[in-house]
Chains A and B, each alone.
Chain A
């Protein structure tokens, strides 16, 4: 035993254990880093999906889905994954000083059901012409 300790050949058990601990710690750090990055990316992907739903809803409004001033409507996306809130300002509040009769339409898209972890709600607002009542 004393021979081995004198010449520095090989590692002691303690050294190996410490090296293992350091390796485990750094691997754990990497694992967490990668997991966090993936989770954030998936959150972003959900936000993009919500944005797509909002864009499609905005295209529907005023064409296949009627728009009235002061409306409030809530419905689900076709795949039931999203809840869509459509609100518009009352015409009288908007019309003062406006060149054409229209209303500010806001489309807010949020994850449906209990799964709120998917993303924060996305909201798009635009000015849309409506025919006066």
Chain B
């Protein structure tokens, strides 16, 4: 008799439908599952963010290594300025630095290059600067990179989101002077004894810049 009825209408069979207890159990299992899923979303997001932070900081570390190597190998190369006067091809300003170094295939094909480190003009509507390295092949006796508008240098982004860049130079500006810190080091007889590179990020930026002090090996 009951076999003739469609399955869904077998109200008299005990196993048809679910008991309240089963329903409650199923619901609580679903609740536990949902909690786990959302919990794992949160965990995944946190893990992603902290991995990002670690990666950002290690890119800062590589930039510090690169700058330390480049600055410590800076050469006291002679160059001529626009007026034809000879001086060492090293121009240190408070916000930028231009020097000659053998790149040895680090970024480009190698050989002596004139390198300029500084903040690139921020894009309109952006308060943060970008620390960039511009470099061009160095030709002894030719005017410097800043005085040669024709020789468009290649540019590489080193660090973005930089709030400020501050450079200082330690040494005796003229032979016999007492060595001290200078904001500017240009047209000098020798390279400075010490170069300080300080970069600041936004206070909310988790990246940290360790004060970089480099001693040029050749002076």
Contact = CB atoms under 8 A, between A and B. Distances in A.
B35 to A, nearest CB: 11
Interface stretch (B77-85, B105-113, B124-132, B206-214): B206-214
B54 A79 contact: no
B43 A79 contact: no
A13 to B, nearest CB: 6
Contacts of B194: 59-60, 63-64
B184 interface: no
B57 A79 contact: no
B29 A45 contact: no
A27 B44 CA distance: 12
Contacts of B43: 31
A44 to B, nearest CB: 9
Interface residues of A, number: 29
Contacts, number: 65
Which of A13, A24, A48, A53 is most buried by chain B, counting CB atoms within 10 A of its CB?
A48
B214 A59 contact: yes
Given A31-B43, A63-B193, A52 B64 contact: yes
B57 A13 contact: no
Interface string A77-93: 11100000000000000
Given A52-B212, A79-B211, A38 B179 contact: no
Nearest to A45: B57
A72 to B, nearest CB: 21
B27 interface: no
B61 interface: yes
Contacts of A38: 47, 50-51, 54
Contact of B213 (A27, A45, A60): A60
B139 to A, nearest CB: 30
Interface string A38-71: 1001100100110011011101100110000000
A64 B170 contact: yes
A16 interface: yes
Contacts of A34: 47
Given A1-B14, A57-B213, A59-B214, 18 more contacts: A4-B15, A20-B29, A34-B47, A38-B47, A38-B54, A41-B54, A45-B54, A48-B58, A52-B212, A53-B211, A55-B213, A56-B210, A60-B194, A63-B194, A64-B170, A64-B179, A64-B194, A77-B211
A-B CB proximity, top 10 nearest = A56-B213, A52-B210, A59-B215, A63-B193, A59-B213, A63-B194, A64-B170, A78-B211, A41-B54, A48-B61
